[in-house]
Amino acid sequence: MAKQRVDVAGNAASFIDQDDIHEPVHDKNLWAARMKRDAAARAVPEWEDLRTIASLIKEHTLTHLDHYLEMFEANAIKRGAKVYWARDAAEHNQHVWEILSARNIDAIIKSKSMLQEECGMTAFLENRGISVTESDLGERIQQLDNQPPSHIVMPAIHKTPADIAGIFAKAIGTDPNNTDPHYLNEAMRADARKRFLKAGAGMTGANFAIAETGTFVVCTNEGNADIGASVPPVHIASIGIEKLLPKVSDLGVFIRLLSRSALGTLATQYTSHFSGPRKGGELHIIITDNGRSKRLGLDDFWHSLKCIRCGACMNTCPVYRRSGGLAYGATYSGPIGIILDPTFDESKYSELPYHSTLCGSCSEVCPVKIDISDQILKWRKVMAAKKYLPISRRLAFGAAGKVFEHPTLFHGAETAASAAMKVTPHFLLYNRGLNPWGRHRELPHFAKQTFREWYLQYKQTDKDQEPQQ
Amino acid sequence: MKVALFIPCYIDAIYPEAGIATYELLERFGLEVAYPLNQTCCGQPMANEGDQENSAAAERLFVENFSGYEYIIGPAGSCVKHVRHHLDAIPQTAAVTEVRTRTYELVEFLHDILQVEAFPWAYFRYKASLHNSCSAIRGLHIAQPSEHMAPYYNKSESLLKMVEGLELVPLDRPDECCGFGGTFCVTDEAVSARMGLDKVHDYERQRAEYVISPDMSCLMHQQGIARKAGIDMKFIHIAQVLNGGPF
């Protein structure tokens, strides 16, 4: 089990150490997104109220989820959609496969869907001879490089234009030395056109599903979901059960928050509402659980289901910006990944909650007010209680706990320097060979006298100077 | 007013001058300052690891040492944040909750409780940057977090503005975490060091001679980074500036 555990700190170190370009540029680009988000949010006087309202709507919906799911299903069916239920990834993928194979479809075009990522759908379909093309530019880059997305909204943000030029040169024959984004974008656009026309089905996810109308809403900046849903005769949408909103009037709150939080833009370029199949076409909706009901039952963690996948927590996270999303070794990375991934596999993702300084910025930017930072600390408690902590860490803290428990042990030191040894990152004592403190840092200078020694001396002098009665 | 001084373990051993400055500063305001001699640690290092079992004893001792005082004052945001928000490895008796609500970080105590309006004895003729720790900002609301859309305030800055001679220079990323994060600084060494270096470079760009903070633990990390990188910069606790020493 331990072998399988994702070494997120080690992966992040590799991201930093690879060269002098990737990490600094990644940090700079995402910080710029955070700054744009701040400016966009500041321009909305009621921003903090919107966050509160969005959080309340989500809490309400999640609390009555069964009711709204059935309402959505009934209304979607009324509008002519076919609705399927999937308990887990296997059922979800099976539904997709059955829809495609019944129609002899061997090529699909898809837009971004974190749920389909979660389900490992692309690999599943490719194993069955279906050609799958990602149509979101970032996702397409990742697909061609055989990597999962590293960011919810900007899947290839960890790559430089030079990386992308190299990938496109191999895949579609562009000039490997031309790193001009417009040139690369245009070349991929031309390649994608052919694939849109050839696809037997278009697949999308959904950002929101409206119970009262049976409509779902897909937000993109490239319009790729719209072509995918409009050109091929069959549209299949994968929708997580947490995407529900009760009413159309709730939607405005979330549309105002989503793109401002994600990229600092007022809205995504395309906000498309799908209400039943278009004339002569088919619409299939797969409502998928895949661990969400289980999460809904976790007192400390169910609030993570409010997430609208904007990625603001990733952009603001100082640790994520230095790590790159692939370091997390999971579908979801960054702060939201830290609290979602362990619900899929506690052992595998047991190190993730420690990949945080608990600075708390994620909780403050979250447009639906998920207490992300607090949940990270709560996950640490789960990991510690279940003994997922590495042995060395457990030993260090057992020893520290003892020292702090007994004042005499703690103050037993004769000199300030030896007192300092007890509190200076004591893990050093357990890890002398590696000395993780000292690779990039000098040790603090030890004081000649502890505060305690000074205080006792000061009090003594005070007493000596008191007039004798 | 009788108050108790809570000196976190690393200040006791590595930065006693921050403790001395705090003690002297509180006495200057006419407070009777007690220093319970049996204090060790508030339990934060263990609790932050999620290790409730090993933090419980330290927490119990903390409450024992600090019961019965009107205020408990610690010159360390992250330790005070632990006491106020996360000291929950032991049963929450009346004594425990009493100690938790009476524990204050130094800046918020000076700003909110004493409502200090001047530090006539303080003089600091340097260009300096202020580092409020994340725990102090988002845990204790010592300043408005930059990502939260509400009117600006910054309690440490307000206090420092009363110090004659001091020129505060703003940062490109004012409240970006420096990467200390307690155990994070060694378990996640590469990311922690990179964050620290970015922070130190920000000070350098602003030509700060000093970095002043209510949290010496962040500064221990930043100072280590600056020294290793050969950057000449001094790091001191806000109490030393407000008290006019010891430096």
Give one DSSP letter per residue of chain B, joined into a string.
Answer: -EEEE---HHHHHT-HHHHHHHHHHHHHTT-EEE--TT----SHHHHHTT-HHHHHHHHHHHHHHHTT-SEEEES-HHHHHIIIII--SS---HHHHHHHHHEEEHHHIIIIIS-----TT-B--SEEEE---HIIIIIT-SB--TTS-S---BHHHHHHTTSBT-EE---SSTT---S-TTTHHHHTHHHHHHHHHHHHHHHHHTT-SEEEES-HHHHHHHHHHHHHTT---EEEEHHHHHHT---
**CB neighbour class for A302 (10 Å; exposed up to 12, middle 13-18, buried from 19):** middle
**Cα distances (Å, whole numbers) of residue A169 to A138, A144, A187, B13, B213:** 16, 11, 10, 59, 51
d(CA A370, CA A361): 11
Q: Out of A23, A47, A373, whose CB is closest to B149? A: A47
The reply to whether A39 falls in a domain is no
Q: Please give the backbone phi and psi of residue B212, each rounded to the nearest 5 degrees, phi first.
A: -115, 135
| Tens of pLDDT, residues B170-211 | 999 999 999 999 889 988 999 999 999 999 999 999 999 999
> Considering the domain boundaries, does residue A274 fall inside one?
yes
Interface probe, candidates B51, B90, B175, B216, chain A, greatest A C-beta count within 10 A: B51
Rounded CA separation A380/B48 (Å)? 8
Report residue B107: phi and psi, to 5°.
Answer: -60, -45
Asked whether the beta carbons of residue A420 and residue B13 sit closer than 8 angstroms, the reply is: yes
What is the CA B224 to chain-centroid distance, rounded?
17
Q: How many domains does chain A have?
A: 2
Is A387 a member of any domain? no
State whether B16 and A416 contact (CB < 8 Å).
Answer: yes
Output the domain CATH number for residue A203.
3.40.50.10420
In terms of C-beta density within 10 A (0-12 exposed, 13-18 middle, 19 or more buried), how is residue A129 classed? exposed
Beta bridge partners of A296: none
Instruction: Give the pLDDT confidence score for residue A4 in this predicted structure.
Output: 86
Measured in residues, chain B has a length of 247
Which residues, at least 6 apart from B244, have a Cβ–Cβ distance to it below 8 Å?
A: B119, B121, B122, B123, B124
The Cα A427–Cα B183 span in angstroms is: 8
Of A290, A323, A343, which marks where a domain is finished?
A: A290
Mutate which: A359, A363, A365, A448, vs B, most B CBs within 10 A: A359
The superfamily (CATH) of domain B127-243 is AF0625-like (3.40.50.10700)
Q: Who among B40, B138, B188 is closest to A9 (CB)?
A: B188
The answer to whether residue A218 sits within a structural domain is yes
- Strands annotated E in A17-106: 82-86
- Which B residues 121-160 touch A at CB under 8 Å? 134-135, 137-139, 145-150
| Answer CATH for B2-113 from 3.30.70, 3.40.5, 3.20.20, 3.40.50 | 3.40.50
Q: Which pLDDT score is estimated for A429?
A: 44
Question: Which residue ranges does chain B devote to CATH 3.40.50.10700?
Answer: 127-243
B16 vs A47, A355, A451: nearest CB: A451
B16 vs A410: which has the higher pLDDT: B16
Domain interval for residue A48: 44-290
Does A340 fall in a domain?
Answer: no
The kind and range of the H/E element at A71 are helix A65-78
According to DSSP, the residues that pair with A220 across neighbouring strands are: A270
Within-domain flag for A85:
yes
Instruction: Output the pLDDT for position A141.
Output: 98
Core vs surface per residue B130-141: b (16+ CB within 10 A) or e: bbbbbbbbbbbe
End position of a domain, from candidates A290, A321, A344: A290
- Residue A23 within a domain: no
For B73-123, how does the pLDDT look when each residue is reduced to its tens digit (9 = 90+)?
999 999 999 999 999 999 999 999 999 999 999 999 999 999 999 999 999
Cα distance between residue A146 and residue A126, in whole Å? 13
- Chain B: give the shortest CA distance to residue A166, in Å: 28
Statement to judge: residues A412 and A286 lie in one domain: no
Q: Which pLDDT does position A426 carry in this prediction?
A: 47
Q: In chain B, what residues touch A440 (CB-CB under 8 Å)?
A: 189, 193, 196-197, 224-225, 228
Identify the pLDDT of residue A467.
63
Name every residue whose Cβ is closer than 8 Å to that of residue A43 and which is 6 or more positions away in sequence. Answer: none
Chain B contact for A430 (CB, 8 A cutoff): no
Is the Cβ of B223 closer than 8 Å to some Cβ of chain A? yes
Cis peptide before B246 (omega within 30 of 0): yes
**Strand pairing partners for B143?**
B154
Q: Do B180 and A357 touch (CB under 8 A)?
A: yes
Q: Please report residues of A whose CB lies closer than 8 A to that of B19.
A: 451, 454-455
pLDDT digits (tens, 9 = 90+) for B35-84: 999 998 898 988 888 888 889 999 999 999 999 999 999 999 999 999 99
As averages over each run of 10 residues, the pLDDT of chain A (469 residues) reads 80 97 98 98 98 98 98 98 98 98 98 96 98 97 97 97 98 97 96 95 98 98 94 97 98 98 96 96 98 97 98 98 98 98 96 96 98 97 87 62 72 56 50 67 82 92 69
Domain boundary among A242, A269, A290: A290
